[in-house]
């Protein structure tokens, strides 16, 4: 029996999980396109064939294991996967690509897998086939890269907690369909995309645990307390039982709380209505959003459409169908589609096939879209077409000044012209908003407000760039201070600029999800907040407990303070005690 270990990290997604640990060695590797010299091509094909033989051996072992346990369904999955290894489309296609293009097996395999998965169309079993092909692909890649430890998330038949040095955003998104009830990673900050997705999926998570993945073994019992940022490995039996009880109570309490909260309006005690919306990454999250009382979607991170298919890009039809589905599900409420924010931590290499020293400051988001207008126009046509089916707005990320907004609008006009030529209908009055997340955009918000239909402040990046802190680097997360006077002044300026120009300014960064920030944001004049769905009930409670008048008074006092520490102390002593359930916030539970 292993010794009890206790770790503290950053609570990234509230709730409690108790389950067996599955330790993943590393995140899915980033693959590169590497040219292979003519003379070495047959060797490369041989390397691929050897990987195929080893993969077949692994799959046969798994199939035998499952057959022994009479797990017919699972057994037949391996059967199907083994057939794929014989299948000429994947295997011959990859060999032909290695020879034809003179490139490495990994890249050739990736290309052929995507060719295959995107050729399936709408057949009944599409998802199953795609899952299987991707599993075979992953297994082959692991073998090619010399990693013996392949982890197939579909193998789990009990509740598990994923432990990993880091998880990529798309891996985290994949966890949704599996029996994964929690996760714990060595790296990652509170606002890394991985943390954001965990929250949106309602999976308890703790990140920034440093050495956890090296100290724990697969099969160890692990407790993840995402509310407190704690992880306990190999707890005593009584402690484990206590946490199982807490988990049950937490889940039951949550359900009840949601039912009640959904029905209540988000309005201050003196009658000011606030629009509370959800940030989502996957269309499947729409239901979670509505269950939590979201009034539409204030931020749809469309790049996840890409991340789930990379390196293949979504087609116009795919864009259109996803946005149409979102608009229809959202009903009378608006849905803001943010155009691709690729780059930064989001799989840059696979798009541009080259490296950057500092990708967060590099070719990301609108910069990437303006450099690849073909990709951008494809997305914009999808958005325009979907805009006929509901209240869809478009929003450009990472705008740093007026030139970019103008150029982006011009590309939008080109997309409109293309649709007109094709006789394809679209809504003529699509609203065009921008994210304010670069300090230069905040500084010229008055100029931008003349040419944008709305603003949405992205504090995750605005704080990162204003305070010069990598938002996914846990060692500087202590410097990540939303209440820094520099941030508050930026917000005030942006909101006032929007107000003078008569356009709405909302917020969709994580700061909008913090109930203690609500009176400040309301006092500064903000009326629209978009956040991970899970936070909506708590933020709504905060809105309902306040008056606008008090919020304005508090903001007057706060704006006179000089340091982040002073503002934080003010919030702790004057705001937090006034919030409903402040001593024990609604999403927080006490451990035994």
Least Å distance between CB 299 and ligand PEP? 6
Tell whether residue 165 is a contact of Mg ion (CB under 5 A): no
Number of residues that bind ligand PEP (CB under 6 A): 10
Q: Which tokens in the block code for residue 416? A: 């409109």
Least Å distance between CB 93 and ligand PEP? 35
Cα separation, 490 vs 174, whole angstroms: 36
Nearer to Mg ion among residue 359 and residue 591 (C-beta): 359
- Can you tell me which of 165, 189, 343, 458 binds Mg ion, judged by CB under 5 A? 458
Please name the residues in contact with 556: beta carbons below 8 A apart, sequence gap of 6 or more: 523
Map the footprint of Mg ion across residues 384-443, applying CB under 5 A. 437
Catalytic residues: 193, 508
Could you give the residue ranges of the DSSP H alpha helices within 303-364? Answer: 303-307, 316-330, 348-352
Of 254-262, 405-413, 451-459, 569-577, the segment contacting Mg ion by CB under 5 A is: 451-459
Least Å distance between CB 460 and Mg ion? 5
Q: At what angle do helices 88-101 and 105-118 cross, to 10 degrees?
A: 130
- Can you tell me which of 138, 186, 461, 514 binds Mg ion, judged by CB under 5 A? 461
89-125 b/e (C-beta count within 10 Å ≥ 16 → b): ebbebbbebbbeebbbbbbbbbbbbbebbeeeeeeee
What does 508 interact with, of ligand PEP, Mg ion, none (CB < 5 to 8 A by kind)?
ligand PEP
Least Å distance between CB 356 and Mg ion? 17
Tell whether residue 204 is a contact of Mg ion (CB under 5 A): no
Number of residues that bind Mg ion (CB under 5 A): 3
Contact 519, 496 (CB under 8 A): no
- Can you tell me which of 202, 509, 519, 523 binds ligand PEP, judged by CB under 6 A? 509
Q: Is 329 exposed, middle or buried (0-12, 13-18, 19+ CB in 10 A)?
A: middle
Q: Which tokens in the block code for residue 145? A: 């890269």
Least Å distance between CB 191 and ligand PEP? 7
Map the footprint of ligand PEP across residues 441-470, applying CB under 6 A. 458-461
Least Å distance between CB 325 and ligand PEP? 21
Query: Residue with CB nearest ligand PEP?
Result: 458
What does 459 interact with, of ligand PEP, Mg ion, none (CB < 5 to 8 A by kind)?
ligand PEP
DSSP state of 103: B
Tell whether residue 437 is a contact of ligand PEP (CB under 6 A): yes
Map the footprint of ligand PEP across residues 327-356, applying CB under 6 A. 341
Cα separation, 323 vs 317, whole angstroms: 10
Nearer to ligand PEP among residue 190 and residue 385 (C-beta): 190
Q: Residue holding tokens 């010069």?
A: 468
What does 93 interact with, of Mg ion, ligand PEP, none (CB < 5 to 8 A by kind)?
none
Cα separation, 513 vs 299, whole angstroms: 13
Q: Which of 169, 144, 198, 204 is nearest to 27 (CA)?
A: 169
Nearer to ligand PEP among residue 320 and residue 396 (C-beta): 396
Can you name the residues that pair with 432 across neighbouring β-strands? 394
Map the footprint of ligand PEP across residues 284-303, applying CB under 6 A. 299, 301
Contact 345, 192 (CB under 8 A): yes
Nearer to ligand PEP among residue 472 and residue 551 (C-beta): 472
Contact 518, 524 (CB under 8 A): no
Cα separation, 155 vs 27, whole angstroms: 17
Contact 16, 247 (CB under 8 A): yes
List residues near ligand PEP by CB under 6 A. Answer: 299, 301, 341, 437, 458-461, 508-509
List residues near Mg ion by CB under 5 A. Answer: 437, 458, 461
């Amino acid at each position: 029996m292993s010794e009890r270990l206790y770790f503290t990290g950053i609570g990234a997604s509230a709730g409690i999980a108790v389950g067996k640990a599955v330790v993943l060695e590393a995140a899915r590797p980033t693959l590169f396109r590497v040219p292979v010299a003519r003379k070495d091509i047959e060797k490369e094909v041989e390397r691929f064939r050897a990987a195929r033989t080893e993969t077949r051996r692994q799959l046969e072992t798994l199939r035998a294991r499952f057959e022994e346990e009479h797990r017919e369904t699972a057994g037949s999955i391996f059967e199907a996967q083994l057939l794929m290894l014989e299948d000429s489309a994947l295997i011959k296609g990859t060999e032909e690509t290695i020879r034809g293009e003179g490139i490495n097996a990994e890249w050739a395999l990736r290309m052929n897998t995507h060719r295959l998965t995107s050729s399936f169309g709408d057949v009944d079993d599409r998802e199953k086939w795609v899952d299987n092909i991707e599993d075979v692909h992953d297994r082959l890649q692991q073998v090619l890269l010399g990693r013996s430890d392949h982890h197939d998330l579909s193998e789990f038949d009990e509740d598990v907690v994923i432990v990993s040095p880091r998880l990529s955003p798309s891996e985290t998104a994949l966890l949704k369909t599996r029996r994964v009830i929690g996760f714990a990673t060595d790296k990652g900050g509170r606002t890394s995309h991985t943390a954001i997705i965990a929250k949106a999926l309602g999976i308890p998570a703790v990140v920034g645990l440093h050495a956890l993945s090296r100290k724990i073994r697969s099969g160890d019992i692990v407790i993840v307390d995402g509310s407190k940022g704690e992880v306990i490995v190999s707890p005593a039996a009584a402690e484990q039982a206590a946490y199982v009880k807490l988990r049950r109570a937490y889940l039951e309490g949550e359900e009840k709380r949601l039912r009640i909260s959904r029905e209540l309006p988000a309005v201050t005690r003196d009658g000011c209505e606030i629009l509370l919306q959800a940030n989502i990454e996957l269309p499947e999250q729409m239901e979670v959003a509505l269950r939590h009382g979201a009034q539409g979607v204030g931020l749809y991170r469309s790049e996840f459409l890409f991340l789930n298919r990379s390196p293949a890009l979504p087609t116009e039809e795919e864009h259109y169908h996803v946005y149409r589905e979102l608009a229809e599900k959202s009903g009378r409420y608006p849905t803001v589609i943010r155009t691709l924010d690729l780059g930064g931590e989001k799989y840059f290499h696979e798009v541009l096939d080259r490296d950057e020293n500092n990708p967060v400051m590099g070719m990301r988001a609108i910069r990437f879209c303006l450099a690849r207008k073909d990709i951008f126009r494809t997305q914009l046509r999808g958005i325009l077409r979907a805009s006929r089916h509901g209240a869809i707005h478009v929003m450009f990320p990472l705008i740093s000044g007026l030139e970019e907004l103008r150029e982006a609008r011009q590309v939008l006009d080109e997309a409109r012209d293309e649709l007109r030529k094709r006789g394809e209908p679209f809504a003529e009055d699509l609203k065009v908003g921008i994210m304010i997340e670069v300090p230069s955009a905040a500084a010229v918000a008055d100029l931008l407000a003349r040419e944008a239909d709305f603003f949405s402040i992205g504090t995750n990046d605005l704080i990162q760039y204003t305070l010069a802190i990598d938002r996914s680097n846990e060692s500087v997360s202590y410097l990540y201070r939303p209440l820094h006077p520099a941030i508050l002044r930026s917000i005030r300026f942006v909101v006032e600029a929007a107000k003078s120009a008569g356009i709405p300014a909302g917020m969709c960064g994580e700061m909008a999800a913090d109930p203690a920030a609500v009176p400040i944001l309301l006092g500064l004049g903000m009326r629209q907040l978009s956040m991970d769905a899970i936070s909506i009930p708590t933020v709504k409670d905060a809105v309902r407990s306040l008056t606008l008048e008090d919020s304005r008074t508090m903001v007057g006092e706060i704006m006179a303070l000089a340091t982040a520490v002073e503002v934080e102390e003010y919030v702790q002593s004057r705001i937090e005690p006034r919030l409903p359930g402040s001593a024990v916030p609604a999403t927080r539970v006490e451990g035994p």
